[in-house]
Structure 1
Amino acid sequence: MLSSILPVRSLLAAIFMLMAGSGFLSTLISLRLERGGSGTLMIGAVATAYFAGLTVGALRAAPVVQRVGHIRAFAAFVSLLSASTLAYALFQNVLFWASLRFIDGLCVAGVFICLESWLNERAEPDTRGSILAGYMIALYSGQALGQFLLNFGRTPSIPFLIASILISLAVIPVVLTRIAAPLPGQNAPCTMRQLYASSPLGFIGAMTTGLMLGAFYGLAAVHVRRLGLDLSQTASFMSIVILGGVALQWPLGRLSDRFDRRRVIVISFGATMAVCLALTMVDGMGLPLLTLGGLFGGLSFALYPLCVAHTNDRLDPAARVAASGALVLLYSIGAALGPTGAATAMTLFGVSGLFLFIAAVAGGTLVFGLWRQASSLPVPGDDQQSYQILPRTTPVAAMLDPHAPEQIAPNESEPADRSLLTLSG
């Protein structure tokens, strides 16, 4: 694995620094708004703005990259992200911060498109899995360690300054890279109607996973602060959830390779619901909160790649990259709606409303999954594709899947189809 990731170590370093600097902002901003007296609905709206920007960026950033080139686009996106991060320190206003979060989402989507394109350019069929694993490690470890920057929150502007510094430093390894910018490829289109017809559970599961994790990232910090946790304990809780998400993805994936994948998905949604209901009964920092937080991360983070794998089991190989890209966007749409739904639940039911909302979403998907199991036959075990851990970033990440078909190089005499998916239907 090490020999496979050494050629892309500069890109992985950039991903790590970027996530260390930006990955904790959702936690920090929610806490600042809470301390400033903003209502739960307003905090949820600001979180929604970020995921809305991420969704729009996933759709619109690629033409910018193709027009000006990967290095220039990356530098522009990171510079704007660094500037918006500093702008939070100017003054605190909900509408102003919501606008900044939308810009953050746009920039993060553009950055991921650039980095994931480069990684895909360097990935050969026999190294694709190792590069993807290195990417996931850099992504999640940066996000988990970045949570501890909350401990510098005693001076209001310091966390934003540190975040901006780390984000700015992420430019250096990329602008100095000698890796050639990738050429656009061609992929078979996949409409949303076709995607649902091929895999209803994969379609619904991807969106509801977005609902759950969007709600969590937007309001979990508010939830635990209202339980009485201080900044250091809040950072520890968020990090445990993220690291738990990494720990359980592989064993759940291996189980789904051996048994009916729908059964593993349904059980995971059911277990997520049970863990969330248990979390509503925890009233302070301690081993129960950390244990349940790690279990929640492990179960919920695994749901998206499980849904992608289940969808791929039911698709022709040529359609898998476009379908995976569509599933990323479904996840992003769900994530944009999740904070608002959770904020409404917290307004109605108090501090336990966050995990009641997530439990309700998981329970609804559990019922849907049981119906799908009863109404259709499973994919034969020999026809199931191997499970692969995938990030929930942009459609470009789908091309890093080791089981994805090779892209078709564009014909120089014909314009390339630059879209990864079709959202009609």
Structure 2
Amino acid sequence: MELQMLQILPSPRKIIKTLTALFVGVGFVFIGNSLVLTSAGVMLSDMGVENFYIGIITACFFIGAILSSIFTYKFISTYGYIRSYAIFTALFAISALLHVLGDNVIYWVFLRIMLGFSYYSIVMVAESWINTRSRNEIRSRVLSFYSTIYYMAFGIGVIILSFKLTPVKIFIVSIFFIIVGSIPMNIIKIKEPKLPPKKKLFIPNVFNLVPLALVTSFSAGILINGFFAMSGLFIIASGGSIADASFFLFAAMVGGFLSQIFFGNFSDRFGRKYAIILSSSIALIASILMYIFMGNMLIMKLLAFLLGFGIFCLYALAAARANDVLSEQDSRVEVGASILLSFSIGSILGPISMGLLMQIFGSSGFVFIYFTFTSFLIIFSIFKETVPKKYRTEYLSTGPSEVLD
């Protein structure tokens, strides 16, 4: 009977084939997002904005992400997946386009919130669609394919930045990719899943979440999105060029992609606690070496690979840790929302704290954040229990919005 059931279930390859238009579309959107997200710090610096205020402005992108988590689910429930995707990609392109009309910092704050809201709404539509169409038995493999697209697309975006484009050209190119990303969903016949039921909004009680998962997700928000927002500025302040900043980001993305594969297997075998300790230790060593070799761009790019390898898996490890200790299925939504909330708070505080320390200590302030939070995470994890292997759930290469589904 089980064999017959497995034969009836669609394979990962079939699911991926049916979702080709979605994967192609979001791939182009990811390229556009990498351009507008990672270039902001350098652009604002060229406009004469101080590092602390650069951190505040770039952090507004993640305020938009929080607003998306509040309003987008209801929007999808009302208008459907395809129309929601079309509307949010249009809003994303408009938000990018409006940047070329002014350089007032208050104006940019508003636009970064719009960008964050529209981008995370697109991601929520895509990941909710994937989760709805994928059964539990194959979901991890479909999401792994989706994560591969994300890392490849983001890498393409940061390579484009190495061509030394002007700010106007960067936004034009990003808008091109965003608009192209909206086309496949509108010209290819694709059956969208049933509309998700409307749910009442609730504010999760984050203190009910297991401490290690909560602290890890919060730290991941600071370290990952602080990196995206401020690493380009860090490399420029360290004496590098735009091309150096681009390849620094690319190296980190390659490390992040490989870390999902390594730590997925490692954490399933040895536990999330030891995976968090190991990944944080790698990031700590990389940041110490960055401080020592600051200014040597070749070594910095190699160390970016190690840093990305250490930090980009932290969010997925936090989600896996939380799921490992859940006693009731009904608490998954609240736990997922709590992780998202802590990650989002960290994402807002990361660029701000990096901007403040870079304002005070120069480029070294960027590295000090990694010293502090990786060291704290290692110490905090050591004193937490290990979940026995029989109680561990499957590791998924999850992104921040996937926990909402």
Could you tell me the TM-score, scaled by structure 1's length?
A: 0.86
Write the letter of the residue equivalent to 2:376.
Answer: G
Q: Which residue of 1 aligns with 2:368?
A: 356
1:233–1:285 contact (8 Å) kept in structure 2: no
Match of 2:342 in 1: 330
Per the alignment, residue 60 of structure 1 pairs with 71
Q: Which residue of 2 aligns with 1:103?
A: 114
- Does the 8 Å contact 1:18/1:170 carry over to 2? yes
**Cα separation, 2, equivalents of 1:131 and 1:320:** 21
Match of 1:250 among 254, 257, 261: 261
Residue type of the alignment partner of 2:354:
A
> 1:381 is aligned with what amino acid?
K
Aligned partner of 1:162 in structure 2 is 173
Deviation at 1:64, TM superposition (A): 1.8
Give yes or no for contact 1:152–1:159 (8 Å, CA) kept in 2: no
User: Residue in 2 aligned with 1:382?
Assistant: 390
Alignment partners' CA distance in 2, 1:255 and 1:174: 37
The structural deviation recorded for 1:3 is 3.6
Unaligned runs of 5+ in 2: 1-11
What is the aligned partner in structure 2 of residue 423 from structure 1?
none
- The match for 1:211 is 222
Q: What is the CA–CA distance in structure 2 between the aligned matches of 1:107 and 1:156, rounded to whole Å? A: 21
Instruction: Give the structure 2 partner of residue 71 of structure 1.
Output: 82
Counterparts in 2 of 1:197 and 1:117: CA distance versus 1, 3 Å: closer
- Opposite residue 364 of structure 1, the aligned amino acid is F
**Amino acid aligned to 1:199:** V
Is the contact between residue 215 and residue 377 of structure 2 (CA under 8 Å) also seen in structure 1?
yes
Task: State the partner residue of 1:92.
Answer: 103
Post-superposition shift, 1:192?
4.3
Residue 135 of structure 1: how far off its partner (Å):
0.9
Q: Would the alpha carbon gap of residues 92 and 3 (structure 1) be closer, same or farther in structure 2, given more than 3 Å must change?
A: same
- Counterpart-to-counterpart distance in 2, 1:385 and 1:190: 26
**SS class of match (2:363):** helix
Aligned partner of residue 88 in structure 1, secondary structure = helix
SS at 2:362's partner residue? Answer: helix
Q: Deviations over 1:83-126 (max 9, x none)?
A: 11111112222211121110001101211121122212321333
Q: Which runs of 4+ in 1 moved over 6 A?
A: 186-191
Q: Is the contact between residue 27 and residue 153 of structure 2 (CA under 8 Å) also seen in structure 1? A: yes
Matched residue, 2:5: none
For structure 1, the residue ranges without an aligned partner over 5 or more in a row are 400-425
SS of alignment partner, residue 312 of structure 2: helix
1:292 and 1:308 map into 2 onto residues whose CA distance is 26
Match of 1:405 in 2: none
Change (3 A) 1:189 1:75: closer
* Alignment CA distance shift 1:354-1:324 (3 Å): same
SS at match of 2:275: helix
Tell me which of 250, 271, 275 is aligned to 2:282: 271
Indicate conservation of the 8 Å contact 1:118/1:182, yes or no.
no
Q: CA deviation at 1:264?
A: 2.2
The aligned amino acid for 2:390 is: D
Shift of 1:149: 2.3
Distance 2:402 2:70 in 1: 9
2: CA distance between counterparts of 1:156 and 1:210? 27
**How far has the Cα of 1:342 moved from its partner?**
0.9
What do the CA deviations read for 1:310-362 (whole angstroms, capped 9, x no partner)? 11110034433442233123211210111111111111211110111122122
Q: State the Cα distance separating 1:138 from its structure 2 match.
A: 1.2
- Which structure shows the bigger proportion of residues in helix conformation? 2
Q: Is it true that 1:222 corresponds to 2:233 in the alignment?
A: yes
Q: 3-state SS of the aligned residue for 1:289? A: helix
Please say if 1:17 is aligned against 2:28: yes
Q: How far did residue 130 of structure 1 move?
A: 2.3
- TM-score w.r.t. structure 2 length? 0.90
User: SS at 1:24's partner residue?
Assistant: helix
CA separation in 1, counterparts of 2:192 and 2:37? 33
1:166 partner letter: F
* Cα distance, 1:385–1:81 mapped onto 2, change above 3 Å: same
Classify the secondary structure of the residue corresponding to 1:112: helix
Determine if the alignment matches structure 1 residue 48 to structure 2 residue 56.
Answer: no
Offset of 1:370 from its aligned partner?
2.3
Helix, strand or coil at the partner of 1:389: coil
**Partners of 1:24 and 1:358 in 2: CA distance:** 24
Q: 1:187 offset after TM fit, Å?
A: 9.4
| Partner residue, 1:113 | 124
Name the residue aligned to 1:368.
380
How well do the aligned residues superpose, as a CA RMSD in angstroms?
2.2
Once structures 1 and 2 are overlaid, which stretch shifts more, 150-159 or 2-11?
A: 150-159
Identity of aligned residues (%): 24
2:21 corresponds to which letter in structure 1? S
Within 5 A, what are the aligned runs for 1:388-399?
388-396=396-404, 399=405
Does the C-alpha gap of structure 1 residues 394 and 99 become closer, same or farther in structure 2, counting only changes over 3 Å? farther
Say if 2:291 is the partner of 1:283: no
Give the direction of change, closer, same or farther, for the CA distance of 1:271–1:153 in structure 2 (3 Å limit).
closer
Paired residues of 2:81 and 2:195 also in contact (CA < 8 A): no
Shift of residue 392, structure 1, vs aligned partner: 2.4
Q: Are the aligned partners of 2:30 and 2:154 in contact in 1 as well (CA < 8 Å)? A: yes
Work out whether residues 48 and 340 of structure 1, in 8 Å CA contact, stay in contact via their aligned partners in 2: yes
**Corresponding position of 2:4:** none
The whole-number CA distance in structure 2 between the counterparts of 1:238 and 1:141 is: 12
Q: Pick which of 83-92 and 332-341 moved more.
A: 83-92
Distance 1:205 1:22, change over 3 A: same
Q: 2:40–2:229: 8 Å Cα contact kept in structure 1?
A: no
Amino acid of the structure 2 residue aligned with 1:98: V
Given the superposition, is the C-alpha separation of residues 174 and 285 from structure 1 closer, same or farther in structure 2, using an over 3 Å criterion?
Answer: farther
Change (3 A) 1:97 1:152: farther
**3-state SS of paired residue (2:294):** coil
Supply the AA of the counterpart residue of 1:355: V
